[in-house]
């Protein structure tokens, strides 16, 4: 029998996508021997409702542009096309349905996102359906995370969150947006075709 495909979901607003997202995806692919890393730009993120978020079609296209040179990377419109809020638990369930048990699912997040996981919708359900790869990100300390989680979650679910060191890249979309507004360079923080797309469509100005 063929082994199950190992598929990782990388969720985010990707407003805009940058090298931090891409390096984390590629490092996780290598380390966990993943067959595919699927970037899933969010529709209406429950945690970011209050802020102005760029139209999904721009965020989707920028993510497509950023991932073209990696044969293991894919982009899904699943959350963008879904009605209402984006929740990881619904996305993972939809992936499971799509692969009908033929895939082992992973979910990649940065260290900041994993620290908030206890506030996510139906977190226990979510952890039963996939393994979390928590990429450490500069400025976010993962120490004590297991302690904090084990107070709230059953042991076998805590074990489904695997901390993972990625090369330190202190890049964030927030910083890139601020730089653009101030007229500062964003060169080398994100792929050049994404940078050109941003200027062409005058996003973040």
Alpha-carbon dihedral of residues 197, 201, 204, 205, nearest 10 degrees? Answer: 130
- How are beta strands 5-12 and 103-110 bridged, if at all? parallel
CB nearer ligand ATP, residue 12 or residue 191: 12
| Spatial CA neighbour of 105 closest among 152, 174, 38 | 38
CB of 3 to ligand ATP, least distance (A): 27
- Report the residue from 103, 162, 169, 203 that binds ligand ATP according to the rule CB under 6 A: 169
Q: Does 37 bind ligand ATP (CB under 6 A)?
A: no
Is residue 66 a contact partner of residue 37, using CB atoms and an 8 Å limit?
no
Over the window 83 to 122, marking each residue x when it contacts ligand ATP by CB under 6 A and - when it does not, the resulting string is --------------------------xx-xx---------
Smaller CB separation from ligand ATP, 14 or 157 = 14
Q: Does 173 bind ligand ATP (CB under 6 A)?
A: yes
Choice from 9, 21, 67, 190 touching ligand ATP (CB under 6 A) = 21
Cis peptide before 114 (omega within 30 of 0): no
Contact residue for ligand ATP among 15, 26, 79, 195 (CB under 6 A) = 15
- Signed CA dihedral, 161, 166, 172, 176: sign only: negative
Alpha carbons within 13 A on the beta-carbon side of 75 = 25
Number of residues binding to ligand ATP, judged by CB under 6 A: 19
For ligand ATP, the closer of residues 49 and 156 by Cβ is 49
């Amino acid at each position: 029998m063929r082994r199950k495909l190992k598929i990782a979901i990388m969720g985010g607003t990707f407003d805009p996508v940058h090298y931090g997202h891409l390096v984390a995806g590629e490092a996780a692919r290598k380390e966990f021997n993943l067959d595919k890393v699927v970037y899933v730009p969010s529709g209406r993120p429950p945690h970011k409702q209050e802020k102005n978020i760029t139209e999904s079609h721009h965020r989707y296209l920028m993510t497509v542009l950023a991932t073209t040179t990696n044969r293991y990377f894919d982009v899904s419109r699943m959350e963008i096309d879904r009605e209402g809020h984006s929740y990881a638990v619904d996305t993972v369930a939809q992936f499971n349905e799509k692969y009908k048990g033929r895939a082992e699912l992973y979910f990649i997040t940065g260290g900041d996102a994993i620290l908030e996981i206890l506030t996510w919708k139906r977190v226990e359900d979510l952890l039963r359906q996939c393994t979390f790869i928590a990429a450490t990100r500069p400025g976010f300390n993962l120490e004590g995370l297991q302690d904090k989680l084990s107070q709230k979650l059953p042991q076998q679910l805590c074990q489904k969150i695997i901390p993972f060191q990625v090369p330190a890249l202190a890049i964030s979309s927030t910083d890139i947006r601020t730089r653009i507004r101030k007229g500062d360079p964003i060169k080398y923080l994100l792929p050049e075709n994404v940078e050109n797309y941003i200027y062409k469509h005058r996003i973040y100005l």
